[in-house]
Structure 1
Amino acid sequence: MSIPRTLIVTNDFPPRAGGIQSFVHGLARCLPPESVVVYAPAWRGCARFDDREPYPVVRHSSSLMLPSRAVASRAASLIEKHGCDTVVFGAAAPLGLITPGLRAAGAKRVVMLTHGHEASWASVPLARTLLRRIGEHADVITYLGEYTRRRLTRVIREPALVRLAPGVDTDVFRPGAGGTRIRSALGLGDAPVVVCVSRLVPRKGQDTLIRAWASVRRAVPGAVLLLVGGGPQQARLRRMVHLRGLGGAVRFTGPVTWSSLPACFDAGDVFAMPCRTRLAGIDVEGLGIVYLEASATGLPVVAGRSGGAPDAVLDGETGLLVDGTSVAEVAAALTRLLTDPATARRMGERGRAWVEREWGWKRVGARFGEILADHGTTGAQ
């Protein structure tokens, strides 16, 4: 299968940590190095990161790329310079708005990835109009799972939609990935640890974990909640911990490097992110790659029933699905897993096997290559 010369235009790329960043980076890594060029924002540590990549990464002048004339012009120049005939947008919205200019520069095929925020746009009048305009210029638009597909079909015509979900590098996310070092650095010792790896934003449910933690500690004395990541809710969450007198029972790492994430997962006994849908469906979880990364690390997971998150958990087998708005339900799920280590261990083992079987990058990369190599008319030309 011949892979066309491809330009990936994306706001989401390492070394910034995040699920979409990992997804787009993994896709780039699946392609022959000589066939791909990445155009992404500047981020602290990006020069060192880019030096290790086997393909060229061109950085924007700032940490955010908007669908502006300057971004469109730079992307067009990269198409011409590198002879790219295919463009992949790491997220359809909003950068997909620059597609007409890239067509004029020589892009014959345009593939746009979608995530949770595009599914949300589909339900908002003005955003829906922009998403429809974006979709009109794509050959293929990908979706994560059935939930996001249903939302997108309100706006985008069905034939252009194909499923492409993230993969997980099971050589990187694995039991023994460095958790002992993290535990030692934080002074956690052998304490039972529930870890949440995510940005500190309302949808992810760290506040619910904190509200549930006193109940969990009554059943599991000495248990520690480890919140990994930074975000706008950090100050509020710290106040919640202080007001509840939880002190050292809840630890915050703050922002962490992309390369340290596997060790952070491995520091836990249970992974939990009780996400919930907010703002009448506008703020919703698209999938939750962190659940799969946790499973690959051998952890049982507790996930909220928000959007496409249930696609990343086999309820009762690899973890437990909960109502992310229910403190009692979240506390009960965490307590169950912490007090029944045999069940937790079996769920972690099943999760690892499931990710290896169904979510490995070999399978995802093959599907991505098929999407790029198919020059049939599946959308706008």
Structure 2
Amino acid sequence: MIKTLFVTNDFPPRPGGIQAFVHALAVRRPPGSVVVYAPAWEGAARFDAAQPYPVIRHSSSLMVPVPSVRRRAAEIARAEGCDGVVFGAAAPLGLLAPSLPVSRRLGLTHGHEASWASLPLSRGLLRRIGDGVDVLTYLGEYTRARLARALSPRAAARLTRLAPGVDTGVFRPGCGGAEVRARLGLADRPVVVCVSRLVPRKGQDTLLRAWPRVLQAVPDAALLLVGGGPYRPSLERLASSLGVTASVRFTGPVPWEELPAHFDAGDVFAMPCRTRLGGIDVEGLGIVYLEASACGLPVVAGDSGGAPDAVIPGETGLVVEGASPPAVARALTGLLGDPGRARAMGARGRAWIEAEWDWDLVAARFAGLLTAHPTGDRPA
């Protein structure tokens, strides 16, 4: 049995999609086959005590590829008898790969590695990372194409798709949405839900700017914004200036175990993400679209980066220009105004998730990457 060291800045209890992805990969490995090296984070002791594998915390909330982190990772690998290492996010900690005493090295990539590929300095570092691991994974075709342009030909040839999965037993229709609706006073109102960090790229501001048009067509509609983040004060001011505060609910941060119920509280899921800063701030995939589909909701996705990979346009949802309030409003009013169409898209989405995105399938792909024979063309 191969034993794997996860070296990652992205790990619970810190919230986020990458954190959930890495944790889900680790927890599905056989007992005794995983050890995690991750930064300190508030609530870590309680979280770590509940895990079926050891979690060794760094002394601070961020790890960078400096000698002290390299030495500590190497010490853990030796002490635990690790055969392989997985970098939860290849950039930047994947720079440590060649110096670790293991025989198998994997780097997971996400949206920010695709952003690294577009800048001269970080592109060079990404090329070094690619040459130092046996495999780099990618989320979808958008991220694969951007990464391949930055990597050496040998590293580009080793790119392998590994996208997050969805726990279809947890994210499912009827998983608690009625209770959330009752608690928030939404009752039987048509609800558009967005579950995401409140940051500009995710497009909650576009949802708010679209909302007056939605209310013209569906006067009793409600917008449920789930999540916390630095953009909340600006969003609340925007809602007030648009005169839509009465129909918008901000939940703030929600514990992970309550997230499925908040998806289930919606009739339509929408996150009109957009690419910002000249392509540096881009959506890698958007696991929330897949979780919403698993809950039987039609989705409205922005056209940023790899987000369209999480939708079958016209079947499980719609892809729109994320920076266009009119386009978002048309998509939302079309779905809210045709519940039969919305339900059919949600049902198709659920079936797609079960067939293509279930965590058991992802875990099997990941196991294959860990046990594959090294290619032999990575520099020592």
Q: Same fold (TM over 0.5)?
A: yes
Q: TM-score, normalised by structure 1?
A: 0.96
Q: How does 1:189-204 map to 2 (within 5 A)?
A: 189-204=187-202
Q: 2:267 aligns with which of 266, 269, 288?
A: 269
CA contact (8 A) 1:160 1:378 kept: no
Q: 1:205 aligns with which of 199, 203, 219?
A: 203
RMSD (Å), alpha carbons? 1.3
Q: Which residue of 2 aligns with 1:73?
A: 71
Q: How does 1:35-114 map to 2 (within 5 A)?
A: 35-102=33-100, 106-114=101-109
Q: In the alignment, residue 288 of structure 2 is paired with which amino acid?
A: V
Following TM superposition, the consecutive aligned residue runs of length 4 or more in structure 1 with deviations greater than 3 angstroms are none
Displacement after TM superposition at 1:122 (Å): 0.4
Q: How does 1:100-139 map to 2 (within 5 A)?
A: 100-102=98-100, 106-139=101-134
Q: Which residue of 2 aligns with 1:150?
A: 145
Change (3 A) 1:249 1:379: farther
Q: Which residue of 2 aligns with 1:305?
A: 303
Which deviates more from structure 2 when the two are superposed, residues 353-362 or residues 184-193? 184-193
Report SS of the residue matched to 2:309: helix
Once residues 272 and 44 of structure 2 are traced to their aligned partners in structure 1, the CA distance between those partners, rounded to angstroms, is 31
* Structure 1 unmatched runs, 5+: none
Once residues 258 and 208 of structure 1 are traced to their aligned partners in structure 2, the CA distance between those partners, rounded to angstroms, is 25
Q: How does 1:7-26 map to 2 (within 5 A)?
A: 7-26=5-24
Q: In the alignment, residue 187 of structure 1 is paired with which amino acid?
A: G
Displacement after TM superposition at 1:350 (Å): 0.7
Which deviates more from structure 2 when the two are superposed, residues 66-75 or residues 322-331? 66-75
Once residues 378 and 312 of structure 1 are traced to their aligned partners in structure 2, the CA distance between those partners, rounded to angstroms, is 34
- Per-residue CA deviations over 1:174-221 (Å, capped at 9, x if unaligned) read 112221222222222221111111111111111100000011011111
Q: 2:324 aligns with which of 317, 323, 326?
A: 326
Q: Which residue of 1 aligns with 2:253?
A: 255
Report SS of the residue matched to 1:314: coil
Change (3 A) 1:16 1:257: farther
Displacement after TM superposition at 1:19 (Å): 1.4
Q: In the alignment, residue 123 of structure 2 is paired with which amino acid?
A: R
Q: Which protein has greater RCO, CA pairs closer than 8 Å, 6+ apart? A: 1
* Structure 2 unmatched runs, 5+: none
Once residues 287 and 303 of structure 1 are traced to their aligned partners in structure 2, the CA distance between those partners, rounded to angstroms, is 10
Aligned length: 376
Which deviates more from structure 2 when the two are superposed, residues 204-213 or residues 5-14? 5-14
Q: In the alignment, residue 140 of structure 2 is paired with which amino acid?
A: G
Once residues 98 and 105 of structure 2 are traced to their aligned partners in structure 1, the CA distance between those partners, rounded to angstroms, is 10
